Structures are given as structure tokens and as C-alpha cells.
């Protein structure tokens, strides 16, 4: 399903005195879950809304399967989107909300019941939207996105407001969709969640691309220097012993451990043995996505 | 056609339509009672002694049976139009208020088509409100005129014209509502502004222009008030012209211009607007 590829190229959005998205380019492959990461205010939502023709870009293009969203003949059958502000009329039932969309998209109205079943909302189908919990609202948004059985799914912060059970359900649901060959693009600022969910990541900060690629590669690109946590009652003796090892540098940490960088754990153990230093802990530290993320976006986050 | 169907489903799956219809029914009953009372006491009565010739001329028109019959057959227009314009407004503003504009424009990226469908459905809804009040007005007026021992006047071309143009007014106010809804996106601001402008503005501006005209001694200033949609629709259904009043068709032209201008500007704005 190569037709589900999302390509963003030179996308720019300038508001009066804010460059929300700045010459952003990336691509999203089908058959994989791609995490779209960035701190709050990085321009994630604006980018997704430009991709979906809700916001007009100042410059650049965004295409899905080679076509702009506005040019899709049957948008709901091609792309399903769950946006942060996905909402329904408070006085309308969930089922009727979906039926409105069916009518507008020319889909048979029994699709409404099918997607409600798919997201487990059938018992609440005839309840008004104002009586829905946050989790139920997110499920209704996903149901709406699935109406046209689209190849491409775009979700903006879908984990917001979900309980752990809901998050787990969402994860397996999205991964299942990707395994069927669909394109799944999920934005989030919850990094731990993305590490479990995504195959690829696109990281942006201050409207600019920071890094893009498979999760493992992005992590690996950051682990150029080894980080090892060492706990010892003889910190001074170990520091002295490590001065003999080329490249090693020792930094005491506030919790009483030492952070050793520049050498791998076996070299540290060997130096400790040679120097007669007692070790209580020797743990290689791999930066997780969160650490990478904070490192990459440091100083670019926050209020702009 | 899909989009028209979608708008109809939207309208019928919330409480708005029947609440507004109920409002129209209640205000219709009140208006008809008042109109019938006024008709009972003015029809055929002679002008009181000692009034100015101008007032006597007004009185002669008002006491005319045709004028009163046209007024009775179009009873409920003043508030009926208010409910129709509010319905049109809510059709647009609720999309922003409840943030359904996102899913609406995701389903249909062609925004002009969406607004066009809203214009069609609002116009048809306006016509249905007209059918509804007219279906009440015709038997009620016939019974009233029968009780007064007067002919029904339903065969009179002026009365028929008034009833049909009343339908045009309802239709145009539906369109006007959608136009206003797009121009003032906030649900509360749009509805409150419209209700105030309709109820107070109509009366205040009428008085203001009449005073101005008298003060500056320029009769034409008084006529500016017929440029207001609410005054224009009243003019459209008048059975007889009051002295100094423009012809009925001027009211129709004014209303059509309002509907076309708000509808067009509204559509153009929606095409450009960022939905976030």
C-alpha cells in the first residue's frame, strides 16, 4: 500500500507574529506506526491541520498518497482523522453523530453501527454525547475516523484523557491497523507511550524538524558515548583507578553514584579489580526516547 | 445532495428545530389573538373626530378589511422570522460551538458546498415554518372573519400576494440566518446580537429615523428604515400601502439583497478561514 504515504515538504505556517511551522519536511511510510513528537506548542497540531486542509499553509505542500487532502475525491474513504478537538454536538447521540458523517460522505448508515461495535461503544450508541466520558469521546472519534475504512489514519494526541486500560486498547488497535498495511501517524508529547507504540518517529521542536527515522535508529544515534552508572563505597579510589583508562571521565551524581562516560562497563570492572575497589553496582545506561527527546528539544520548547 | 441530506440529519437529531417550532407556535397564537382583537375594533370604524388629515389617511388604510385580512393571514411573521433566522444562525455557529466544524470539513473539504447545503436547508426550513403558520392562519382567520360576518377575502389577489410573499420572507430569513452565523461565529454573540437587533433595533431605528426626518425636514430619511430586513419583511406582506410607505416589492428587493450579500460574504469567509 504505497499509496498511503504522507509527504510533507517545506511546510510553513506563519501567524501574525509567530512562525508556528518552519519549512518542515518529513515523510510517513505505510504499514508502520509513526509517532509525531514534540513539546507542547511545537506545531504538531498545526502541521496535522494543514495536512488535512483545515488550516491553509503559508508555504509548502502536504500530500497523502501524492494528493492534497482537498483534492481527494472521497476523503473519508482515504484518510481517517482523530483531532484533539474532535467533538460532537452535546445534544446528539453518538450514533446520530456518525450517521451525519455517513450521510455527508455517501456511506451507508449501517457503517455507524459497525464502527461503534469496532471501538466497543455499542452500549452507549443511543446516549447523548454530553454523557460520554473523555475515553468514550476518544473512542467515538476513532469510530468516526474508521467509517470509510481508510488506508491512512491520523491521530492528534489520542492518548489524552484515556485511562491505562484505554491506552492499552488504543495501542493494540493502532498497531493492528499498521499490520494491515495502513499508514498510522500519531502525534503525542507522551514519550514513554510512543516508545511502546511507534515504529518510526518524527521529532519536531519550535516548528522545525529535529530528527526522523525508526525509533531504534534515533535512539542509537544518541548513544555515541557509553554511560555507565557505578555505585561504590570507595569513590575516590575508583576515580583514581580510572584516570589510568584512556577516554574515561567520572562525574559524581547527587544520589551518591558515579556517572562514568567514555568507556564500557567491562573496562570499568577491570580497572576496579586491578585497583582493589569494591563495586556495588555497575549499570550501563541507554538513553530512552524521553532522554533523547529532552536532549534534542532542549531550549526549543515552551512558550513562544 | 449528500450534503443536503447530512444537514437535514444534523437538524433533526438535536432539539433545536422542535424547540424553535414550539416557540413559533406559541408566539403565533399570541400574535393572532392580538391581531384579531385589533381587527375587531378597527375594521369599518370611522376615524375619530379631530385628528389630523395625515392620521385620518393612515386610519382609513388600517380600518380597511383587506389590510386587516392580509395582516391576519400573515400573523406570527414577526416572531416566526426571528425563530427562522435563529435556526439558520445555529446551523452554522453550533458547528463551531460544538467543534463539529472539524469533522464536517474533514468529510467535505469543499467548504462552499457545505455552506450551500446549509443555505438550501435553512431556506427550506424557513418555508416549512411558513407552511406551518399559514396552515394555522388560514382556518383561524376564516373562522374569525366568519364570526365578524365578513367575507374571508382569501380569493383577493392582494391577500394571496401577501400570503405568498410571506413565504418568500421566511425563506430569505433562513438564508440570512446562515449568512449571519458565518459572519459572527460565536453562537452566543450571533444569537444575542440578532435577537436584540431584531426586537429593539427595529423599534429604535424606526423612531430614530422618523425623528431625524422630522428634525431635518427630509422625508427620504424616514424611508431608510425600510432598508432594515425586519422592516422590509413587514412591508412585503402589507395588504395596503400606508401613506408615505414604499411599495411592497421594495421590501422583497431589500430582503433578497440582504440574503444574497450575507450568504456570499459568509461563504467567501468560510473558504479562507482556518479551522482550529
Please compute the mean of the pLDDT values over residues B149-174 and round it to a whole number: 89
Kindly report the average pLDDT of chain A as a whole number. 87
Q: Report the pLDDT averaged over residues A25-49.
A: 91
What is the layout of strands, in order, in the sheet containing A33-37?
A: A79-82, A152-156, A183-188, A33-37, A200-205, A208-214
A10 Ramachandran zone, left/alpha/beta (phi>0; psi -120 to 50):
left
Are A252 and A237 within 8 A, CB to CB? no
Q: Which residue has the cell 445534544?
A: A91
Q: Which chain B residues are within 8 Å of A99, Cβ to Cβ?
A: 9, 13
Report the alpha-carbon distance of residue A138 to residue B123 in Å, rounded: 35
pLDDT at A287 over 70: no
A54 contacts B105? CB cut-off 8 A: yes
For residue A304, is pLDDT > 60?
Answer: no
CA-wise closest residue to B100 among A201, A244, A288, A86? A86
Q: Do A46 and B276 touch (CB under 8 A)?
A: yes
Determine contact: A63 vs chain B, CB below 8 A.
Answer: no
What's the DSSP call for residue A120?
A: T
Q: Which residue has the cell 399559514?
A: B134
Identify which of A69, A79, A86 has the shortest CB distance to residue B102.
A86
Question: Distance between CA A301 and CA A248 in Å, rounded?
Answer: 32
Residues of B within an 8 Å Cβ radius of A: 2-3, 5-6, 9-10, 13-16, 94, 98-100, 102-110, 272, 274-276
* Chain A with chain B: Cβ pairs closer than 8 A: 89
Rounded distance, CA A95 to CA A91, Å?
A: 12
Its sign, for the CA torsion A203, A206, A208, A210, is negative
Say yes or no: A130 contacts chain B, CB-CB below 8 A. Answer: no
If we measure between CA atoms, which residue out of B79, B1, B5 comes closest to residue B35?
B79
Distance from the Cα of residue B32 to its chain's centroid: 16
Would the pLDDT of A249 be above 60? yes
Cell numbers for B257: 439583497
Residue of B nearest to A49 (CA): B276
Tell me what pLDDT residue B127 has.
Answer: 96
ipTM of the complex: 0.82
From chain A, the residues in CB contact with B98 under 8 A are 87-90
Instruction: State how far residue A126 is from chain B, nearest Cα, in angstroms.
Output: 11
Beta bridge mates, A228: A260, A284
Residue of A nearest to B114 (CA): A104
Going by C-beta distance under 8 Å and a sequence separation of 6 or more, which residues neighbour residue B81? B169, B170, B173, B198, B230, B233
A100 at B interface, C-beta within 8 A: yes
The predicted structure's pLDDT at residue B138: 93
Q: Can you read off the three cell numbers belonging to residue B181?
A: 452565523
pLDDT at site B156: 85
Query: Closest by alpha carbon to A156, among A169, A170, A168?
Result: A170
Give the pLDDT confidence score for residue A220 in this predicted structure.
Answer: 74
Q: Which domains does chain A have, with CATH numbers?
A: 2-214 (3.40.50.300), 224-285 (3.30.70.100)
pLDDT surpassing 50 at residue B141: yes
Give the distance from residue A70's alpha carbon to the nearest chain B alpha carbon, in angstroms.
5
Q: Cα separation of A79 and A155, whole Å?
A: 11
Q: For residue A289, name the pLDDT band (cuts at 50, 70, 90).
A: low
Cell of A47: 502541521
Residue A1 clears pLDDT 50, i.e. is over it: no
Q: Which residues of B146-159 are buried (b: 16+ CB within 10 A; e: fewer)?
A: eeeeeebbeebebb
Continuous segment of H or E residues that includes residue A302? none
Q: Give the mean pLDDT of A192-213.
A: 88
Residue A223 in this model has a pLDDT that exceeds 70: no
> How large is the angle between the packed helices A110-118 and A94-105, nearest 10 degrees?
130
**3-state DSSP percent of chain A in helix, strand and coil, to 5:** 40, 25, 35
Q: Quickly state the pLDDT bin for A24 (edges 50, 70, 90).
A: very high
pLDDT in tens, B17-54: 999 999 999 999 999 999 999 888 887 666 666 677 77
Query: In which band, very low, low, confident or very high, does the pLDDT at A140 lie, cut at 50, 70 and 90?
Result: very high
Nearest to A106 among B2, B14, B275 (CB): B2
> Is A88 near chain B, with CB under 8 Å?
yes
| SS percent in chain B: helix, strand, coil, step 5 | 80, 0, 20
Burial of A131 from C-beta contacts in 10 A (0-12 / 13-18 / 19+): exposed
pLDDT at A203 over 50: yes
Q: Is B15 exposed, middle or buried (0-12, 13-18, 19+ CB in 10 A)?
A: exposed
**Average pLDDT rounded to a whole number, residues A27-43:** 90
User: Mean pLDDT over all residues of chain B?
Assistant: 86
What are residue A204's phi and psi, to 5 degrees? -125, 155
Q: How far is it, in rounded angstroms, from Cα A263 to Cα A227?
A: 8
Over 70: is that where the pLDDT of B176 sits?
A: yes
Judged against a pLDDT cut of 80, whether residue A100 lies above it is answered with yes
Q: Which residues of B touch A53 (CB under 8 A)?
A: 105, 109
pLDDT of residue A18: 87
At residue B47, the pLDDT reads 65
The share of chain B scoring above pLDDT 90, in percent, equals 42
Question: Which residue in B108, B70, B212 sits closest to A100, CA to CA?
Answer: B108
Phi then psi dihedrals of residue B216, to 5 deg: -85, -5
Please state the rounded mean pLDDT for residues B126-138: 94
Highest mean pLDDT among A262-276, B71-85, B211-225: B71-85
Whole-model pTM over 0.90: no
B178 — pLDDT class (breaks 50, 70, 90): very high
Q: Which residue in chain B is spatially nearest to A55 when comparing CA positions?
A: B274
Task: Give the per-residue pLDDT at B68.
Answer: 87
Q: Is the pLDDT of residue A222 over 70?
A: no
Residue A299 has a pLDDT of 60
pLDDT: which is higher, A245 or A199:
A199
Q: Identify the pLDDT of residue B23.
A: 93
| Residue pLDDT, tens place only, A63-75 | 999 999 999 988 9
Nearest CA in chain B to A100: B6
Report how far apart, in Å, the C-alpha atoms of A5 and of each of A62, A182, A207, A209, B272 are: 11, 9, 21, 18, 27
Residues A57-66, mean pLDDT to the nearest whole number: 94
If you average pLDDT over residues A269-274, what whole number do you get?
89
Locate the DSSP E strands across B33-109: none
Residue A34 and residue B35: Cα distance in Å, rounded? Answer: 68
Distance of alpha carbon A3 from alpha carbon A31, whole angstroms: 11
When computed from its CA atoms, the radius of gyration of chain A, rounded to whole angstroms, is 24
User: What is the structure's pLDDT at B6?
Assistant: 94
For chain A, the straight-line distance linking the first and the last C-alpha, in angstroms and rounded, comes to 39
- What pLDDT, on a 0 to 100 scale, did the predictor assign at position A36? 94
Cell numbers at B187, concatenated: 453562537
pLDDT over threshold 80, residue B147: yes
Among B13, B177, B172, B4, smallest CA distance to B98 is for: B13
Amino acid at each position: 500500500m504505497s499509496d498511503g504515504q504522507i509527504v510533507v515538504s517545506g511546510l510553513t505556517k506563519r501567524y501574525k507574529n509567530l512562525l508556528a511551522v518552519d519549512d518542515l519536511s518529513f515523510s510517513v511510510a505505510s504499514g508502520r506506526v509513526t509517532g509525531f513528537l514534540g513539546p507542547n506548542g511545537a506545531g504538531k497540531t498545526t502541521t496535522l491541520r494543514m495536512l488535512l486542509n483545515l488550516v491553509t499553509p503559508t508555504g509548502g505542500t502536504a500530500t497523502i498518497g501524492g494528493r492534497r487532502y482537498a483534492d481527494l475525491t472521497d476523503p473519508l474513504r482515504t484518510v481517517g482523522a482523530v483531532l484533539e478537538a474532535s467533538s460532537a454536538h452535546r445534544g446528539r447521540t453518538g450514533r446520530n453523530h456518525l450517521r451525519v458523517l455517513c450521510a455527508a460522505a455517501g456511506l451507508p448508515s449501517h457503517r455507524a453501527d459497525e464502527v461503534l461495535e469496532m471501538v466497543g461503544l455499542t452500549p452507549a450508541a443511543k446516549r447523548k454525547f454530553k454523557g460520554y466520558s473523555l475515553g468514550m469521546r476518544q473512542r467515538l472519534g476513532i469510530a468516526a475516523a474508521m467509517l470509510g475504512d481508510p488506508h491512512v489514519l491520523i491521530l492528534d494526541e489520542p492518548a489524552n484523557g484515556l485511562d491505562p486500560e484505554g491506552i492499552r486498547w488504543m495501542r493494540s488497535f493502532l498497531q493492528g491497523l499498521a499490520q494491515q498495511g495502513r499508514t498510522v501517524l500519531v502525534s503525542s508529547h507522551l514519550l514513554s507511550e510512543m516508545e511502546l507504540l511507534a515504529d518510526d518517529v518524527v521529532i519536531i521542536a519550535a516548528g522545525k524538524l529535529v530528527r526522523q527515522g525508526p525509533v531504534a535508529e534515533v535512539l542509537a544515534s544518541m548513544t555515541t558515548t557509553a554511560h555507565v552508572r557505578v555505585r561504590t563505597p570507595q569513590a575516590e579510589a575508583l576515580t583514581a583507578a580510572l584516570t589510568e583508562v584512556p577516554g574515561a571521565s567520572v562525574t559524581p551524581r547527587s544520589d551518591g553514584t558515579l556517572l562514568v562516560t567514555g568507556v564500557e562497563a567491562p573496562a570499568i570492572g577491570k580497572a576496579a579489580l586491578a585497583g582493589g575497589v569494591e563495586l556495588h553496582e555497575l549499570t550501563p545506561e541507554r538513553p530512552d526516547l524521553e532522554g533523547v527527546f529532552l536532549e534534542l528539544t532542549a531550549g526549543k520548547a515552551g512558550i513562544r | 445532495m449528500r450534503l443536503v441530506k447530512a444537514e437535514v440529519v444534523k437538524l433533526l437529531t438535536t432539539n433545536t428545530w422542535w424547540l424553535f417550532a414550539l416557540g413559533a407556535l406559541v408566539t403565533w397564537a399570541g400574535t393572532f389573538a392580538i391581531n384579531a382583537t385589533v381587527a375587531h375594533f378597527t375594521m369599518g370604524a370611522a376615524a375619530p373626530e379631530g385628528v389630523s388629515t395625515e392620521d385620518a389617511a393612515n386610519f382609513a388604510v388600517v380600518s380597511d378589511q383587506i389590510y386587516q385580512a392580509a395582516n391576519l393571514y400573515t400573523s406570527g411573521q414577526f416572531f416566526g422570522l426571528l425563530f427562522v433566522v435563529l435556526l439558520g444562525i445555529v446551523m452554522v455557529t453550533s458547528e463551531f460551538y460544538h467543534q463539529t466544524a472539524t469533522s464536517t470539513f474533514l468529510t467535505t473539504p469543499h467548504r462552499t458546498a457545505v455552506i450551500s447545503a446549509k443555505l438550501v436547508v435553512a431556506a427550506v426550513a424557513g418555508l416549512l415554518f411558513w407552511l406551518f403558520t399559514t396552515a394555522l392562519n388560514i382556518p383561524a382567520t376564516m373562522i374569525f372573519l366568519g364570526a365578524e360576518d365578513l367575507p374571508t377575502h382569501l380569493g383577493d389577489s392582494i391577500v394571496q400576494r401577501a400570503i405568498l410573499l410571506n413565504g418568500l420572507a421566511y425563506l430569505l430569513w433562513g438564508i440570512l440566518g446562515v449568512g449571519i452565523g458565518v459572519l459572527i461565529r460565536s453562537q452566543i454573540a450571533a444569537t444575542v446580537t440578532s435577537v436584540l437587533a431584531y426586537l429593539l433595533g427595529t423599534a429604535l431605528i424606526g423612531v430614530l429615523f422618523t425623528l431625524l426626518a422630522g428634525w431635518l425636514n427630509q422625508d427620504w430619511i424616514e424611508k431608510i428604515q425600510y432598508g432594515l430586513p425586519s422592516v422590509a419583511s413587514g412591508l412585503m406582506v402589507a395588504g395596503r400601502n400606508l401613506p408615505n410607505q414604499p411599495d411592497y416589492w421594495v421590501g422583497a428587493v431589500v430582503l433578497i439583497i440582504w440574503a444574497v450579500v450575507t450568504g456570499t460574504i459568509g461563504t467567501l469567509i468560510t473558504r479562507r478561514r482556518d479551522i482550529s
